[in-house]
Amino acid sequence: MRKNKENFIPYYNQFKNKIYNYFLYRVGFNKPLAEDLTSEVFVKAFKNFDEFDEGKKFQSWIYMIAHNHLVNHYKADKHEVSLELMEDFLHYADTSAEEKYEFERVLKIISSMEGSDRDVLQLKFIDELNNQEIAETLEKEEGAIRTQISRSLVKLRKILNINVEE
Amino acid sequence: MDKLDKILSSMPKAKFSRQVDIKVKFKLYRLIFLEKLKSFNALPAYKMALAYKGLAFILAVTAIFSATSIYAYASNDIIPGTPLYPLKIAIEKIEQKIAITSTAKIDNYEKISNRRLQEAVNLSQQENKIVSEKINKNIDTNIANNQKIKNSINKLSDSEAVAAILQAKKRDQKELESLNKIADFAKNRNDEAVLQKVNEAREIINHQEYKQDEEIKYQDIKTFDLQSDNDENNNINNKNKETGSTYKKEKIDKIKSSSEENLLLYNNNSD
């Protein structure tokens, strides 16, 4: 069913920062790249807006598009996370120095974890999606996501504890 | 919530830059516009044809109405009793309301006054006597407007009044000519009612006095700044404002052609 395309604009306004954030954390805090990817995702979403079921959550749908777009991007363009850019990003964050240190430490560890662990942790804590939304984004079962998150947190704690011990 | 959860939950969140935001919105609105254009072009041929026909019809009606209004307004053939006459009067009323300044009002009254007389002349050429009432009504309007012109002239400053009075006097002459024509036609029809009305109008014109007429003649003519339809006169006036001599001579000649008494007064004043 053809939708009124002007209805897309309020959705864009509501989620532009979240999607931008999603990409920023996943492309090594490369701002121009994150901006490009965000722009591409919304244009893609707009073109497929007729397929969106308005009975469901737009958030899940747009994150799914963003996730797939990122996967395609990594296939086309493999790159390494730039720690320098991450440090720049955190430098301008409105937090205390102690917090910035902690953030940096945790982010470095997360970026070195496996893709599936990294994905669920970032979606859960940085993108603030609930388990159902994460499941829809990654096209998995909610139960599986719940289990994945627990396991990933355990791994992260272990690595952090190991670092502390060291 | 343990420390790790707290750290993870309070990670800093970035905002999309305004510049990029505007670029993306522009892209989206452009796509919306293209979609709408597409949907219009996708209309079945007969619907598009209807849409264009409708638009063409509206444009045609507007053009015809505008042309009719202009014709009704400008034409002296549109006289009382013709279908477009009410439209002509309606447009004149609007024009009256637009005229705000005294000079604009005078121009407006003169225009309408002249029109009523021209219509009366055209009506007079008709054979039947039913037109008598209409002719008399037009002449009454003419008389009323002349009075309004006189009142408006009295409100003008002296320098403005000079030009207005000269113009009014020229108009008076033309009106007398029109009235004479109406009288001739009325005589042929033995239309006493119209003849009486024409005589009334002639009397008023012949005894027309503009109040400032006498006062102006006593002024120093070097300060005059006559606005004339005659460009030559204007050039002479401007040229001789410094010397005043040729200008003065022309003015004297003009005044000479009016009353001798006034000329005497002028000469006394200039000594």
Q: How far is CA B61 from CA A70, B52, B56, B58, B82, in A?
A: 59, 14, 9, 5, 21
Residue B226 pLDDT class (50, 70, 90 cuts) = very low
Q: Report how far residue B158's alpha carbon sits from residue B165's, in angstroms, rounded to the nearest whole number.
A: 10
Contact: B20, A39; criterion CB under 8 Å: yes
Q: Considering only CB atoms, which chain B residues are within 8 Å of A154?
A: none
Give ipTM to 2 decimals. Answer: 0.76
Q: Report how far residue B117's alpha carbon sits from residue B76's, in angstroms, rounded to the nearest whole number.
A: 10
Residue B70 pLDDT class (50, 70, 90 cuts) = confident
Q: Report how far residue B44's alpha carbon sits from residue B249's, in angstroms, rounded to the nearest whole number.
A: 81
Residue A21 pLDDT class (50, 70, 90 cuts) = very high
Cβ–Cβ pairs < 8 A, chains A and B: 78
**CB environment A85-102: b (16+ within 10 A), e (fewer):** bbeebbeeeeeeeebbeb
Q: What is the pTM of this model?
A: 0.46
Mutate to test the interface with A, among B2, B8, B17, B38 (most CBs of A within 10 A): B8
Any chain A CB within 8 A of the CB of B8? Answer: yes
Q: Considering only CB atoms, which chain A residues are within 8 Å of B4?
A: 106, 153, 156-157, 160
Contact: B12, A47; criterion CB under 8 Å: no
Q: Which residue of A has its CA nearest to B7?
A: A103
Instruction: Among B4, B17, B25, select the one facing A160 at the smallest CB separation.
Output: B4
Contact: A102, B32; criterion CB under 8 Å: no
Q: What is the pLDDT of residues A70-97, one digit of tens each?
A: 988 877 655 555 667 777 777 766 777 7
Q: For residue B251, what pLDDT is reported?
A: 54
Q: What is the pLDDT of residues B121-154, one digit of tens each?
A: 888 887 666 778 888 989 998 889 888 888 888 8
Lowest mean pLDDT across A16-20, A35-39, B172-176: B172-176
Q: How does DSSP assign chain B, residue by residue?
A: --HHHHHHHT-------HHHHHHHHHHHHHHHHHHHHHHHHTS-HHHHHHHHHHHHHHHHHHHHHHHHHHHHHH-TT--TTSTTHHHHHHHHHHHHHH--SHHHHHHHHHHHHHHHHHHHHHHHTSSSTTHHHHHHHHHHHHHHHHHHHHHHHHHS-HHHHHHHHHHHHHHHHHHHHHHHHHHHHHHHHT-HHHHHHHHHHHHHHHT---THHHHHHTS-GGG-----S-HHHHHHHHHTTTT-HHHHHHHHHHHHTS-HHHHHHHHHHH-
Q: Are B117 and B178 in contact (CB under 8 A)?
A: yes
Q: Are B73 and B135 in contact (CB under 8 A)?
A: no
